[in-house]
Amino acid sequence: MGRMREFGTTIFSVMSRLAQEHDAVNLGQGFPDEDGPAPVLAEAVRAIETGRNQYPPLFGAPVLREAIAEHQRRFYGLSLDPDREVLVTAGATEALAVSLLALCEPGDEVVLIEPAYDAYAAAVAMAGAVRRTVSLSFPDLRLDVAALRAAVGPRTRAIVLNSPHNPTGTVFTRAELVQIGRIALAAGCWVICDEVYEHLTYDEPHLPLAALARTEPELAGLADRVLTISSAGKTFSVTGWKVGWVSGPQEGVAAVATVKQYLSFTGGAPFQPAVAVGLRQSDADYARLTDSLRHRRDLLAKGLRSVGLEVLGGAGTYFLLADATPLGGADAEAFCRALPARCGVAAIPVSAFCDDAAAVRPLVRFAYCKQVPVLTEALRRLAGLGG
């Protein structure tokens, strides 16, 4: 298939295989190594045992759609109709793919902010669209607003906005969000907001563009062109459940549902009521997750610096970037491919997230969504690189 020819085996698969071959501590792939909240897991078991095992409705189980709407109102003041403005998906990756398939015609353009999760480019290609990229500046990891404005043109159908941002850990500021919204309004395009790390910010609370679009007078009308994506995987440490959702204006959500019904249709029946329990957990439960990951971030950052690495990012998500040049990693891809055998640790080169690989050639992404003893062991192994 011509449009997918450039996409081969992902670097995540490559590095996970090398980690297994060398019994390495895997700080590459971003999945937690412990289970999520006990009440959430227990509800999934109960749902299976009480027969919640057949197809949910296309839009998702009502209990989950209602919980999603409640969550958006509780945290962001957003008012959503759970029956028309919320769609449950097979994870956030499907949510992004079906959104692009619904919105784009062949030849339309989609603007991505690099580094970008590798599924974004693949989803744009599957939609037959053309990707345009704008790079975050290094080392401050901020958005070049002028470059974004230049990348958006008459054929732009959507801007994909990921905040908190994977892989850099950047959390876009209110001023940056306003600028993105103004550019989208001027172009008449959609903004697809990937917010799967919404509860993993460490300095300031997450601010959705959809909420800002309802409070900033200069963004009047933008709310009708914003789709918001999130999922259970990162917030509740259940990445294998693949339960995500899209919310936004009825017209946009209906278009996305039209595509989704011919792909996965629906799924995750016993997991949907369990995720609803998670979304309704207390503020203290949400804070416990954030505080735990903040501690792990600080532990990893301190350890990486002690090895001699310059650490970047860390305002959100559960990833840190490091410049591997001091350890002979001017080419981070070669450095990462050798690392499992060299010291028994796996990480991901940031170049895997970019069209402009040269701009980030020495940067490595480390995941800290691991138990403290695992991070401690990884740092012990990395310490040998400086010897």
Comparing 63-67, 158-162, 323-327, 367-371, the range with the smallest average pLDDT is 323-327
* CA 129 to chain centroid: 21
For range 33-39, the mean pLDDT: 94
- Alpha helices of 167-269 — where are they, by DSSP H? 174-187, 209-212, 233-236, 250-260
For range 78-91, the mean pLDDT: 98
What is the predicted pLDDT for the residue at 16?
87
Quick one: tokens of 248? 């936004």
pLDDT digits (tens, 9 = 90+) for 246-270: 999 999 999 999 999 999 999 999 9
Q: 268: alpha, beta or left, given left = phi > 0 and alpha = psi -120 to 50? A: left
- Residue entry with tokens 């449009």: 3
For range 348-356, the mean pLDDT: 90
Residues 83, 68: Cα–Cα separation, whole Å: 11
Q: What are the angstrom distances between the C-alpha of 185 and each of 182, 211, 301? A: 5, 15, 39
For range 279-297, the mean pLDDT: 96
Task: Using DSSP bridges, classify how beta strands 190-194 and 25-26 pair: parallel, antiparallel or unpaired.
Answer: unpaired
What is the predicted pLDDT for the residue at 318?
96
Q: Is the pLDDT of residue 313 over 60?
A: yes
pLDDT digits (tens, 9 = 90+) for 191-236: 999 999 999 999 999 999 999 999 999 999 999 999 999 999 999 9
Residues 341, 345: Cα–Cα separation, whole Å: 8
13 or 86: which leads in pLDDT: 86
pLDDT digits (tens, 9 = 90+) for 229-240: 999 999 999 999
185-202 burial, b for 16+ CB within 10 Å, e for fewer? Answer: bebebbbbbbbbbbbbbb
For the whole model, what pTM was predicted?
0.96
Closest by Cα among 56, 66, 39 to 270: 56
Give yes or no for a contact between 313 and 170, defined as CB atoms under 8 angstroms apart: yes
Q: Is the pLDDT of residue 350 over 70?
A: yes
Half-sphere exposure of 261 (CA within 13 A, CB side): 9
DSSP state of 65: H
Quick one: tokens of 364? 């490595």
Residues 53, 126: Cα–Cα separation, whole Å: 31
Q: 132: alpha, beta or left, given left = phi > 0 and alpha = psi -120 to 50? A: beta
Compute how many other C-beta atoms are within 10 angstroms of the C-beta atom of residue 208.
23
What is the predicted pLDDT for the residue at 31?
86
Q: Is the pLDDT of residue 1 over 70?
A: no
